[in-house]
C-alpha cells in the first residue's frame, strides 16, 4: 500500500466542495452516477474499434446499493475502469494549467467564480460531503483481473492506493457515510434522487429488488422521449410527457421538438399551454427544465428564456454545458446566454408561423395562445428591444373593425395597415380599462364615421407598449383621444373652422367659466355624442393616473381639453343660451357636459357632490312637469333648458 498526498489545489477544492460549493449536498449522487455513465460511454465508443475491451459483458449498467449494517453506499459501473496510475492521476491531481491562480481567485469569492469549477471535473469530490471515508475499487478494461486498484481517502489531505485482484472491469465507489447522512441509506430516498436527477441517463440504473441482492430492478426511465425520432412518437406519448413533466393537464396548443447541431448542440421539447397556468404571474416560477447530456440540472433556470416567455413549458437538453455543481452557478455560463438567444428566436419563429398561417388548425392554435398569453408576449415589446419588431408583429388587439362583425378574431398591426386607406399614415388606438369602455368612448366616433379603424388597448401593459412602440412599418401609432383630430378635408374642414369663428365668444366663455380645462373647442372627433374630454401633449391615461394615485405617487399635471360637437342639438342650444345671456343656465349645462365627458373617458369628476347636486337641479323641473302632466318646456321659467334636456 502506498500513501500519497493530494495535490495542494485538490486539498483546496475538497475544502470548497465540502463547505461551500454545492447548494444541495444530495447532488453527490447525480455526480457519481454521471461519472459512471461517462465511464460506460467511453468503453462503448472504444469498443467500436476495439471490441475485445467489452467482450463477454456489453450490457452496460450502473448499480446503486445501500448497506444499512455497514453504513455504506456503493455506486458501481462496468465501464472503462482505471489503472492504479490513472486513479492517482484522476483522483489525486488536477492536470490543468493555471489552477493555482484560479483557486487563488476562487478563495476570495467562491460563489462568484465557482461556475468554472465544472471545467476541472470535481464532481467526484462531492462524495466527501456525505462520506467520512471514500473507497474506490477499479480495474481498467485493458488490464487483467490481478491488476485492479483500491484508492482510499478521508478527504484529509492524503490518500492511499494498493494493487488488488478484481474479476470485473469497471469501478465501484464505496461511501462510508457520516452520521448525519443516514437518509442516503433509505431506498425510497435514493430512488427519489435517481428519478429526479438521473432519470434519463442512457444506461440502466439498478437497485436490489426489495433491498436484497440477486434480483435487480431498474429505477430510471432510460431513453428520454425527446431523444427518440419524432416519427416514432405518438400524440399520446407527447400528451403523457406534457402532463407528467410539465405538471399541467390541459391540451397544449402547440409544441416545438427540435434537435440542433452546430456551434451549439442541443435538443428541445417545448410546449405552449392552451390555458393560463396558475403560476403565470409568479415571477419566481419558470417552466423549462435544463438537462446536460440527459442529466437533470434544474427546473428553475431563470436565464434560459426571457420573462415574457414564462408560459413556455418543457425541457432543453444541452451537449455544451459543463455538468456543473450547482443550479445557481450553471446559469452564469456564457453558453446559457447563447442558448437563450437561439431558443427565443426559435419560439418566435414558430409563433409567427402559426399567427400568419392559413391552415385552420394552426390558426386555431394561435388564437388559443393569443387569448391566454397575448398580454404576456406584449411585455416583451417593453422589456426586450432586440425582439421588439417581431413581437409587434405578434401583438393582437380588438378594434372597431373586429367589433363590427361577430366572429372576427383580434387583429394585428400588419392586417390593420392592409385595411387602412392608402393615404392614412397613422395607426389609431384608444386606451381604456375594458373593452366595453373602449367601445363606448365618444372620442372615437368621428374616426369610425370617417372610416378609420381604432385599436382597443385595454390591458394594463398596453400603455407601456405604446410608449415603446411609437411606430410600426413607417406608420405612427396615434392615440385617438389625444390632440386635435384631423379627420376633415376640403369643404368640411373649412366649415368647421368657420363655425369655430362664429362661436369663438361662447368657446372663450366656456373655458373661462369651467376653469379646470385647458381649452374648449369644436371638433370633428364626435358623431353622436355632444362632448368628450381629450388630452394634450404627453398625457398619461386615466388608468395610469388612477394607479399612480393609489400608490401615492405624484401625478404629472394633465392638460385636458373639452371638445364639443357643433352638430349636436345640445351644443347648439348651449350656444343659444349664451347668446341670449342665460349664462347661469349655460354654465350648469356646460359643467354637466364636462362631468359626463370625464366619466366617459374614465376620469373622476372634480367635485362629485357638486356634480350630483347639479344633475338633481337639472332634473327637478322635468320631474315636476311630469307629475303635473305637462310636457317638457311648458313651465315657462326655463323653456330653453327644458327643451335642451328633452332633446
- Predicted confidence at residue 119, as pLDDT, reads 33
- Domain holding 171, by residue range, is 2-218
For residues 270 and 155, state if they share a domain: no
Evaluate whether 80 touches 140 at the Cβ level (below 8 Å).
yes
Same-domain status, 112 and 234: no
Same domain flag for 212 and 249: no
Give residue 610's pLDDT: 87
Burial grade of 490 (CB within 10 A; 0-12, 13-18, 19 or more): exposed
What number is the average pLDDT over the span 460-488? 90
Same domain assignment for residues 172 and 292: no
Q: Is the pLDDT of residue 503 over 50?
A: yes
What pLDDT score does 210 carry?
76
What count of Cα atoms within 13 Å lies in the side-chain half-sphere of residue 133?
9
Q: Which of 298, 320, 355 is the last residue of a domain?
A: 355
Q: Which of 169, 203, 218 is the last residue of a domain?
A: 218
**pLDDT tens-digit profile of 38-54?**
899 889 888 988 999 99
| Confidence band of 328 (pLDDT split at 50, 70, 90) | very low
Classify residue 504 by burial, with Cβ atoms within 10 Å: 0-12, 13-18, 19+: exposed
Does the residue 417 lie in any domain? Answer: no
**C-alpha distances out from residue 50 to 43, 45, 77, 441, Å:** 9, 9, 19, 80
Pair (230, 168) in one structural domain: no
The string of DSSP letters for 212-244 reads: -TTSEEE-S--S-GGGS-GGG--HHHHHHHHHH
For residue 385, tell me if it sits in a domain: no
466: pLDDT strictly greater than 90: yes
Lowest pLDDT segment from 1-15, 24-38, 88-102, 543-557: 88-102
Which three-class secondary structure state does DSSP give residue 560? strand
For residues 247 and 202, membership in a common domain is answered with no
Report the CATH number at residue 89. Answer: 3.30.565.10
Would you place residue 29 in the very low, low, confident or very high pLDDT band (cuts 50, 70, 90)?
very high
Residue 321 in domain: yes
Percent of the chain residues past pLDDT 70, beyond the cut:
85
Distance in angstroms (rounded) separating the CA atoms of residues 479 and 461: 15
How many domains, in total, are found in the chain? 3
| Domain stops at, among 355, 390, 406 | 355
What pLDDT, on the 0 to 100 scale, is given for residue 641? Answer: 44
Bridge partners, residue 317, by sequence = 267, 291
Q: Where are the beta strands (DSSP E) in 68-169?
A: 72-77, 131-139, 148-153, 158-164
Burial group, residue 578, by CB count within 10 angstroms (0-12, 13-18, 19+):
buried
Which residue in this structure is represented by grid cell 379627420? 487
- Pair 163, 305 in one domain: no
Residue 482 lies in a domain: no
Percent over 90 (pLDDT), the chain: 49
pLDDT attached to residue 20: 56
172, 230: one domain: no
The closest of 97, 100, 120 to 17, measured between CA atoms, is: 120
Mean pLDDT of the chain: 84
CATH no. for residue 583? Answer: 1.20.120.790
The strand pairing partners of 515, in sequence order, are none
How many helices (H) and strands (E) the chain has is answered by 23, 22
* pLDDT at 97 exceeding the cut of 50: no
Which CATH number do you get for residue 237?
3.30.230.80
The verdict on 24 and 78 lying in the same domain is yes
Determine, yes or no, domain membership for 386.
Answer: no
Q: Are residues 236 and 204 in the same domain?
A: no
Per DSSP bridges, beta strands 426-431 and 475-479 are parallel
Range from 168-177, 359-368, 530-539 carrying the lowest mean pLDDT: 530-539
Residue 416 covered by a domain: no
pLDDT of 646 over the 80 cut:
no
Question: Are the beta carbons of 140 and 85 closer than 8 angstroms?
Answer: no
**Do residues 83 and 163 both lie within one domain?**
yes
On whether residue 214 sits in a domain, the answer given is yes
* pLDDT higher than 80, residue 214: no
Q: Is residue 348 part of a domain?
A: yes
Q: Are residues 90 and 118 in the same domain?
A: yes
Amino acid at each position: 500500500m502506498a500513501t500519497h498526498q493530494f495535490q495542494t489545489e485538490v486539498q483546496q477544492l475538497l475544502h470548497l466542495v465540502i463547505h461551500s460549493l454545492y447548494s444541495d449536498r444530495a447532488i453527490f449522487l447525480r455526480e457519481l452516477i454521471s461519472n459512471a455513465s461517462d465511464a460506460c460511454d467511453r468503453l462503448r465508443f472504444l469498443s467500436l474499434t476495439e471490441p475485445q475491451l467489452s467482450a463477454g459483458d456489453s450490457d452496460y449498467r450502473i448499480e446503486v446499493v445501500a448497506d444499512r449494517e455497514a453504513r455504506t453506499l456503493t455506486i458501481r459501473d462496468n465501464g472503462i475502469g482505471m489503472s492504479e496510475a490513472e486513479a492517482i492521476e484522476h483522483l489525486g491531481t488536477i492536470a490543468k494549467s493555471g489552477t493555482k491562480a484560479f483557486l487563488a481567485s476562487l478563495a476570495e469569492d467562491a460563489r462568484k467564480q465557482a461556475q468554472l469549477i465544472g471545467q476541472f471535473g470535481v464532481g467526484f469530490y462531492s462524495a466527501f460531503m456525505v462520506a467520512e471515508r471514500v473507497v474506490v475499487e477499479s480495474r481498467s478494461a485493458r488490464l487483467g483481473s490481478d491488476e485492479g486498484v483500491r484508492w482510499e481517502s478521508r478527504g484529509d489531505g492524503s490518500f492511499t492506493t494498493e494493487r488488488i485482484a478484481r474479476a470485473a472491469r469497471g469501478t465501484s465507489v464505496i461511501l462510508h457515510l457520516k452520521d448525519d447522512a443516514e437518509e442516503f441509506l433509505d431506498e425510497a430516498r435514493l430512488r427519489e434522487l435517481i428519478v429526479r436527477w438521473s432519470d434519463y441517463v442512457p444506461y440502466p440504473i439498478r437497485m436490489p429488488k426489495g433491498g436484497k441482492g440477486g434480483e435487480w430492478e431498474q429505477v430510471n426511465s432510460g431513453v428520454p422521449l425527446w431523444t427518440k425520432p419524432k416519427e416514432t412518437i405518438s400524440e399520446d406519448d407527447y400528451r403523457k410527457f406534457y402532463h407528467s413533466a410539465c405538471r399541467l393537464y390541459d391540451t397544449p396548443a402547440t409544441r416545438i421538438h427540435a434537435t440542433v447541431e452546430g456551434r451549439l448542440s442541443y435538443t428541445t421539447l417545448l410546449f405552449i399551454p392552451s390555458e393560463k397556468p396558475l403560476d403565470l404571474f409568479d415571477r419566481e416560477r419558470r417552466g423549462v427544465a435544463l438537462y446536460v447530456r440527459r442529466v437533470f440540472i434544474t427546473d428553475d433556470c431563470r436565464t434560459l428564456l426571457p420573462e415574457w416567455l414564462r408560459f413556455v413549458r418543457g425541457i432543453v437538453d444541452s451537449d455544451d454545458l459543463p455538468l456543473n455543481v450547482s443550479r445557481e452557478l450553471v446559469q452564469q455560463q456564457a453558453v446559457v446566454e447563447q442558448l437563450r438567444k437561439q431558443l427565443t428566436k426559435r419560439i418566435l419563429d414558430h409563433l409567427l408561423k402559426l399567427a400568419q398561417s392559413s391552415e385552420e388548425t394552426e390558426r386555431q392554435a394561435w388564437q388559443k395562445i393569443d387569448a391566454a398569453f397575448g398580454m404576456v408576449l406584449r411585455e416583451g415589446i417593453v422589456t426586450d428591444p432586440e425582439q421588439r419588431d417581431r413581437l409587434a408583429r405578434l401583438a393582437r388587439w380588438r378594434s372597431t373593425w373586429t367589433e363590427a362583425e361577430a366572429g372576427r378574431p383580434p387583429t394585428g398591426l400588419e392586417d390593420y395597415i392592409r385595411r387602412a386607406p392608402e393615404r392614412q399614415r397613422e395607426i389609431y388606438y384608444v386606451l381604456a380599462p375594458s373593452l366595453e369602455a373602449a367601445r363606448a368612448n365618444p372620442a372615437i366616433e368621428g374616426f369610425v364615421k370617417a372610416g378609420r379603424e381604432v385599436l382597443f388597448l385595454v390591458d394594463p401593459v398596453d400603455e407601456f407598449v405604446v410608449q415603446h412602440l411609437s411606430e410600426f412599418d413607417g406608420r405612427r401609432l396615434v392615440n385617438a383621444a389625444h390632440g386635435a383630430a384631423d379627420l376633415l378635408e376640403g369643404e368640411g374642414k373649412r366649415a368647421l373652422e368657420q363655425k369655430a369663428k362664429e362661436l369663438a365668444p361662447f368657446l372663450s366663455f366656456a373655458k373661462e367659466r369651467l376653469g379646470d380645462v385647458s381649452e374648449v373647442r369644436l371638433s370633428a372627433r364626435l358623431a353622436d355624442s355632444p362632448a368628450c374630454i381629450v388630452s394634450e401633449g404627453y398625457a398619461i391615461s386615466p388608468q395610469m393616473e388612477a394607479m399612480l394615485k393609489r400608490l401615492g405617487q405624484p401625478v404629472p399635471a394633465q392638460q385636458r381639453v373639452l371638445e364639443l360637437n357643433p352638430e349636436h342639438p345640445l351644443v347648439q342650444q348651449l350656444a343659444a343660451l349664451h347668446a341670449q345671456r342665460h349664462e347661469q343656465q349655460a354654465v350648469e349645462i356646460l359643467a354637466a357636459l364636462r362631468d359626463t365627458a370625464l366619466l366617459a373617458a374614465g376620469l373622476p369628476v372634480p367635485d362629485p357632490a357638486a356634480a350630483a347636486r347639479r344633475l338633481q337641479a337639472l332634473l327637478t323641473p322635468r320631474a315636476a312637469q311630469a307629475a303635473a302632466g305637462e310636457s317638457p318646456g311648458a313651465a315657462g321659467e326655463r323653456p330653453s333648458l327644458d327643451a335642451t334636456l328633452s332633446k
